[in-house]
Chains A and B, each alone.
Chain A
Amino acid sequence: MGVGGFFTSKLDEAIGWARKFSIFQYPFVTACCGMEYMATACSHYDVDRFGAGLPRFSPRQADVLFVVGTISHKMAPVLKRIYDQMCEPKWVVAFGVCTCTGGFYNNYATVQGIDTIIPVDVYIPGCPPRPESVIDGLMKLQEKIATGAQRY
């Protein structure tokens, strides 16, 4: 590795380190998982420790799309549009089994996993997931952000 390569990789590392602690999230909350999301975001579990304390209710200023709750076929185009509005780099977290696979809803109304519509970086299973699982998922996402394993 030449000197230039050394600086590039160190710079990537520094950017990755900075990014992983400045997660501006967009909570796309549609169902009961929102309660656990709120519990995670509040002081007891304090997601702000991971730099993800500020939800941005505009997809254009958000880095991470938290899809929290069941996505129906009627809602799917809305979710896709929100995702398309986010600027690169962007990540998606599927929060709860409904977003991961459709959960126990296999019927005419429910999307069988949001990964049929948009790409997903981290899956957090649970119905709903406990805040500990959410924090675990968030730390996995931080790892992914820091190592620059990005998808464009």
Chain B
Amino acid sequence: MLARLGRRLGGRLLATHDERGDHTAVVAREGIIEALGFCRDEPDLRFNVLVDLTAVDYLKFPGREDGPRFEVVYHLYSIPHNHRLRLKVPVEQDDAVVPTATSLWPIANWLEREVWDMFGIRFAGHPDLRRLLLYEEFEGHPLRKDYPIERRHPLIGPKV
């Protein structure tokens, strides 16, 4: 599975591992939509479910202080073949944009809105990139590791 992905993507496949059947591929941002489309449409792969789309903030993570700050993570599942795959895309803080996957899986619409809401990562080409869980008056993105733990944005009531 990972080898086929590597043949298709070439240099845009940055790293892979399949520790105990946990197939994971790190893909450059330029190749992610092609990789996702390939995984969905290739008859042997047929990853027809986008199980989850989320992100990780590696700020101050031991050993990752210098690397790209964020990673956007795609979890794929194939109902016909009963296999799974994880794709990761490293994202820099200053250029936190990833192409949208809404054209491949409609559920990506809300998942990407949640990632924007919580991590402040934009998705280029998304049809409606508003906050999903929080309200428009909220400032900042609370799951970022540098979000102040005491900061509150109450709509009514005391401003604690």
Residues of A within 8 A of B (CB): 73-74, 76-77, 80, 107-109, 111-112, 116-117
Q: Which residues of B contact A107 (CB under 8 A)?
A: 142, 149
Q: Are A73 and B135 in touch, CB under 8 angstroms?
A: yes
Residue of B whose beta carbon sits closest to that of A113 = B157
Question: When chains A and B are docked, how far (Å) is the Cα of A80 from the Cα of B138?
Answer: 19
Residues of B within 8 A of A (CB): 133-135, 138, 142, 147, 149, 151-158, 160
Q: Which residues of A contact B157 (CB under 8 A)?
A: 76, 111, 116-117
- Given contacts A108-B142, A108-B147, A108-B151, A76 and B134 within 8 Å (CB-CB): no
Question: When chains A and B are docked, how far (Å) is the Cα of A77 from the Cα of B160?
Answer: 16
- What are 15 A-to-B residue pairs whose CB atoms are below 8 Å? A73-B135, A73-B153, A73-B154, A73-B155, A74-B133, A74-B135, A80-B156, A107-B142, A108-B138, A108-B152, A109-B142, A112-B160, A116-B157, A116-B160, A117-B157
Q: A74-B133, A74-B135, A116-B158 are in contact. List 18 more A-B contacts (CB 8 A).
A: A73-B155, A74-B134, A76-B154, A76-B155, A77-B155, A77-B156, A107-B149, A108-B138, A108-B142, A108-B147, A109-B134, A109-B142, A111-B154, A111-B157, A116-B157, A116-B160, A117-B156, A117-B157
